[in-house]
Amino acid sequence: MNLLEVEDLKKHYPIRAGLLRREVGRVRAVDGVSFHIAKGETLALVGESGCGKTTVSRCILRALPVTSGAIRFATGDGEAAVDLATLPKRQIRPLRRHMQMIFQDPYASLNPRMMVGDIIAEPLKVNGVPAAERRDRVLELLELVQMPPGARTRFPHAFSGGQRQRVGIARALALNPKLVVADEPVSALDVSVQAQIINLLLDLQDRLGLSMLFVAHDLSVVRHVSDRVAVMYVGRIVEVAPTDALYRAPLHPYTEALLAAVPAPDPTRRSRRRVAQGEVADPANPPPGCAFHPRCPYAVERCRQERPELMPAGNGRAVSCHRAGELELAGVR
Amino acid sequence: MQQTPMAERTALAIRDLAVQFESEQGVVRALDGVSFDLHAGRTLGIVGESGCGKSVTARSILRIVDRPGRITGGHMLLDPGTPQEVDLAALDPESKRMREVRGGRIGLIFQEPMTALSVHYTVGNQIIEAVRQHSDVSKEEARNRAIELLREVGIPRPETRISAYPFELSGGLRQRVGIAMALAGDPEIVIADEPTTALDVTTQAQILALLRRLQAEKNIALMLITHDMGVIAEMADEVAVMYLGRVVEFAPVQQVFAAPRHPYTRALLRAVPSILATPRQRLSTIGGAVPHPGSRPTGCAYHPRCSERIGAICMEQRPRPVPSGEAGASCFKDEAREQAA
Amino acid sequence: MSVSTASDPPASDPRASDPKAAAAEARYAEATQLQLTWWRFRRHKLAVVSLFVIALFYGIAIFADFLAASDPHATDARRSFIPPQGIHLFDENGFNPHVYGLRGVRNPRTFQLSYSPDPARKLPVRLFTRGYTYNLLGLIETDIHLFGIEGGRPGEGIFLLGTDQLGRDLYSRMMVATRVSLSIGLAGVTLSLFLGVLLGGISGLYGGWVDLLIQRLIELLRSVPTIPLWMGLAAALPRTWSVIEVYFAITIIISLIGWTDLARVVRGRFLALREEDFVVAAELSGASQGRIIFRHMLPSFASHVIAATSLALPAMIISETSLSFLGLGLRPPAVSWGILLQDAQNIQVLAGAPWLLSAAVPVTLVILAFNFLGDGLRDAADPYG
């Protein structure tokens, strides 16, 4: 059963100019994105800056209003799925306990004026959990994220980035959410600490059966933590596939370019690899046809004129490329 | 003992460099006896986590360490062993000589190129200014040189882009301009401080390729500072691994990845997520976090996190530093292994 | 897989070996933001000194009547323009603080009365003497004063800073003026704070046309030259109003501009904080708007507001002083620094009695102290500074 189904999600920002602030154009930050997340599954949303992955994650949590589309969320409590995209803000609030977020910057995401225990207890308090129960739950959560119980009475400034990120994770898990949105949760951390947090996330997935939307730009991290991967480029998903299949045999030329660009930690593989030329397109002014065509080494005339749709490609995969059937693309092994 | 190839001319020799930051909270030894060489046409990768001193090293070489910090010991010999040899550590940071070195002999590429570029002037103005600072040419010549530099760093249509303001350019193009700025004085040494960290992965690959090409064309001695083992594997000839202000291992790049000698290097390599991982593959981790340089552990600074400690000696004594120019690790376990061999 | 085996146990704390460092570490770790702010504030020596100076002045304001030596409103034509008197600590019998009595001599040419000390007449200075009756802290009726002379004839007294034209003791008047000037500053700043936080908060929280309206209002108010605006408003106050009514009217007038600065600070902080991850986190946990504002946002910028307030206070005090100096603020019989300085307006009077200018000293001291304090607070308030 799918916990979350996103259908044709759009988030446009108007560009206004002139004295009357008339709309002269639109930044199509997210332009028709569809995907689903099954119960207990981790879907990674990857792409380069400006591709819209963070906007998608904020729309799903309704931290941003949605331009159009549907976000169907099944709490699973025997109730029908609700469409978060159209629900008024007041009716979103009781649903918030089911979907929580882990932030990128562990220094900005914890209130410096609250003790760690209060930070973790805050979602419990807001949702009416009695004080005695809150205390036990906080201790339980601290243990879950491998923090000492004494951390409760300390302030965030006493902790390192990795420890703060653990606190942020504990807060996100406090209400036993059905869905956790993790926005680049390890990209601000040092290598050694990053590994600790990745392992922690893997453990939590196993132990709690978490469903997760994992937003990241680091393809190596994504390979460790996700079950499926959706690759975004200029506001659209260009390819979705189970993780292993995507890395071994990408179907979209952009996925291939992304994989080729990751420097492998192995000097003997120092490649004469082909580097994707050009720059990520501007979402305010995307190229016609396939947005990737100006950088695509396989582009043909059709790619310049006709925008490809995301089409199923078998084995739970989908790709948005006119030449998907004919190309033999290189993955990493 | 394996010798690093020494065929190339040594451009810069750093010996026992020590930098301290003094504040009310006490003295922080940001660098504590760092030694390495830069060779023409070769890339030295400096890798380490935050607080290891890699950026302070770069700033010390250029003598732009921020205020409470100062160089308290060691030498930085430019053109060592030649009649022109000069110790940068002994120069006045404001002196004419040092200003000539900065940009003229040693170029710097920043992590965020906007820190090197002014928002008030066009890209062209700034490069022309940099060109004229280091060579006595006319405005017209400097302009032609600037256009040529922009072309060299792969900026399309340099004749028009020269009159663009930095904020009109994308992150990748800005970093290319940053590289052009660093090359404006035709330096033979270039320090790149996390040059691709702020960039997207495809842009990073482009910039790394550009750095490689420029280095080969100009026989530049490149010092590449990064926290990314992938970038090191891709770019470096030799690698210096730093931890809390010291070089803990120095070796040719293949050796670092195939047979790392310091436990920290080993742990770091195992902790790096891999694009070749199997699904849900766990990483081996290093316990704890990098301590603040102000509270450096006694003995070997890595001992509290080290899983390969050999005894009390690690906590009490400082292992001998890596001999400059040779591959080695600053570790008692490695010393013991060497003696046994 | 169980969690406990998944990753290495955190290694021992490298600092644990040093008990002193560990204790300092623990102290730092458990410190509240208020403590951290205080520790940072303490590093600003000048600000700490200023804090004491300001505390001293507010102490004077509270105990003004107790500190005054003679009735600040009592006039006596026979003792006008007495120069400052020094206290003599010793006489032939040892320690016996006293002042000399005064002998008035009329200048035969100008017919002006000038005073000279009369060493023959010693007036002993004692602590806790009885004088005029007042209410201590507004509650206890008493006539005890900190010091005064014992056994003087009517009209005699101790005039540490001399007297004015009407023969009122300047020192005692200054004590009472301190109370008026400082309290009007405080009242003005309270009103500004209320307006500033309210309007700035609305502006920053709701944005849109409300924000636009408030911002334009602020710009309009700030574009009007202050002194003429005040003068116009103050001149419009009915002459028949009582001292208290004028006092409150002046407070409102000087807060009219003051709130705009605070509103901008508050609005800026709200806008910045709204984007902060920890505020978004609170929103995503389902917290109500009120809880987000009062639990998460307000504490985060309370210190900024305090710093801005302490920088706004001297402006208030200066405003009152200027208005009163110009004769447009408080009116006698009220006593404030501005009113005291008003007496020093006449250059001829000033030539004969330069001590009338001494009211400028506390003004300068307090203004400087508030500025230093504000700077110190502002630097200390930023948790990541």
* Window 155-194 of B, Cβ < 8 Å to A: 170-173
Asked whether the beta carbons of B32 and B91 are under 8 A apart, the reply is no
Average pLDDT over residues A303-317: 92
Measured between CA atoms, the residue of chain B closest to residue C22 is: B295
Interatomic CA distance for residues A136 and A129, integer angstroms: 11
Q: What proportion of chain A, given as a percentage, has pLDDT over 70?
A: 97
- The mean predicted confidence, pLDDT, of chain B is 89
Read off the pLDDT of each residue in A293-319 and give the average, rounded to a whole number: 92
Which structural domains are found in chain A, ordered by start?
Answer: 2-109+178-226 (3.40.50.300)
Category of B7 on φ-ψ map: left (φ > 0), alpha (ψ -120 to 50) or beta: alpha
What is d(CA A260, CA A264) in angstroms, rounded to the nearest whole number? 9
pLDDT at C67: 81
Per-residue confidence band for A265, with pLDDT thresholds at 50, 70 and 90: confident
Out of B284, B286, B295, closest to residue C14 by CB: B295
The answer, yes or no, to whether residue A281 has pLDDT greater than 50, is yes
Give the mean model confidence (pLDDT) for residues C286-305. 84
pLDDT bracket for residue B5 (50, 70, 90): very low
Residue of B nearest to C7 (CA): B285
Residues near B283 by beta carbon (within 8 Å), at least 6 away in sequence: A195, A198, A199, A224, B270, B271, B272, B273
User: How does pLDDT run across A232-263, given as a tens digit for each residue?
Assistant: 999 999 999 999 999 999 999 999 999 988 88
What is the b/e burial string over A4-13, where b = at least 16 CB atoms within 10 angstroms of the residue's CB?
bbbeebbbbb
Q: Residue C21: pLDDT above 60? A: no
Identify the pLDDT of residue B11.
Answer: 93
Quickly count: other Cβ atoms within 10 Å of residue B296's Cβ: 17
pLDDT more than 90, % of chain A: 57
- Look up the pTM and report it: 0.81
- State which residue of chain C sits closest to A111, comparing Cα positions: C278
pLDDT tens digits, one per residue of C235-294: 787 878 777 777 788 888 878 777 888 888 888 888 888 888 999 999 888 888 888 888
pLDDT band for A27, please (50, 70, 90 cuts): confident
pLDDT over 60 (residue C10): no
Q: What residue of B is the nearest CA neighbor of C21?
A: B295
pLDDT averaged over every residue in chain A: 90
Give me the pLDDT at residue B22, please. Answer: 83
Q: Name, of A249-258, B49-58, C73-82, C89-98, the range with top average pLDDT.
A: A249-258
pLDDT per residue as tens digits for the range A108-129:
999 988 889 999 999 999 998 9
Nearest CA in chain A to C292: A126
B273 touches chain C (CB under 8 A): no
pLDDT at B256: 94
B174-188 pLDDT, tens digit each: 999 999 999 998 999
Which chains are within 8 Å of C by 3+ CB pairs?
A: A, B
Mutation target among C274, C285, C291 for the A interface, most CBs of A within 10 A:
C285
Mean pLDDT of chain C: 78
- Please give, one letter per residue, the 3-state secondary structure of chain A: CEEEEEEEEEEEEEEEECCCCEEEEEEEEEEEEEEEEECCCEEEEECCCCCCHHHHHHHHCCCCCCCEEEEEECCCCCCCCEECCCCCHHHHHHHHHHEEEECCCCCCCCCCCCCHHHHHHHHHHHCCCCHHHHHHHHHHHHHHCCCCHHHHHCCHHHCCHHHHHHHHHHHHHCCCCCEEEEECCCCCCCHHHHHHHHHHHHHHHHHHCCEEEEEECCHHHHHHHCCEEEEEECCEEEEEEEHHHHHHCCCCHHHHHHHHHCCCCCHHHCCCCCCCCCCCCCCCCCCCCCCCHHHCCCCCHHHHHCCCCCEEEECCEEECCCCCCCCCCCCCC
What's the pLDDT tens digit per position in A171-191? Answer: 999 999 999 999 999 988 888
Mean pLDDT over A284-309 rounds to 91
Domains and CATH numbers, chain C: 76-165 (no CATH), 173-381 (1.10.3720.10)
Q: In this predicted structure, what is the pLDDT of residue A238?
A: 96
- pLDDT, tens digit (0-9, with 9 covering 90-100), for A63-110: 888 999 999 998 776 677 889 888 888 888 888 889 999 999 988 999
Specify the pLDDT at position C287.
Answer: 87
* Residue B294 touches partner C, C-beta closer than 8 Å: no
Q: What is the pLDDT, as a whole number, of residue B231? A: 92
Tell me what pLDDT residue C7 has. 37
Residues of A with CB below 8 A from B230's CB? 220, 262-265
Note the pLDDT of residue C385: 38
Residue among C2, C4, C5, C15 with most chain B CBs within 10 A, to mutate: C15
Assign residue B107 a region: left if phi > 0, alpha if psi is -120 to 50, beta otherwise? beta
Q: How many CB pairs under 8 A join B and C?
A: 31
Q: Using CB atoms, which residue from B24, B287, B296 is nearest to C10?
A: B287
Given 3-state DSSP classes, what are the helix, strand and coil percentages for chain B, each rounded to the nearest 5?
40, 25, 40
pLDDT tops 80 at residue C37: no
Are A224 and B200 an interchain contact pair (Cβ–Cβ within 8 Å)? no
Q: Which residue in A49, A224, A244 has the most chain B C-beta atoms within 10 A of its own C-beta, making it the best mutation to test that interface?
A: A224
Using the predicted structure, report yes or no on whether residue C335 has a pLDDT greater than 80: yes
- Per the listing, tokens 């694009």 go with B275
At residue C5, the pLDDT reads 34
pLDDT tens digit string along B273-313?
988 888 888 998 888 788 887 788 889 999 999 989 888 89
**Res C80: pLDDT:** 74
Q: What is the pLDDT of residue A19?
A: 66
For B304, which of C14, C21, C43 is closest by C-beta distance?
A: C14
Average pLDDT of span A299-304: 93
Confidence band of C147 (pLDDT split at 50, 70, 90)? confident
- Report, as an integer, the average pLDDT of C167-183: 83
The reported pLDDT for the residue numbered C152 is 66
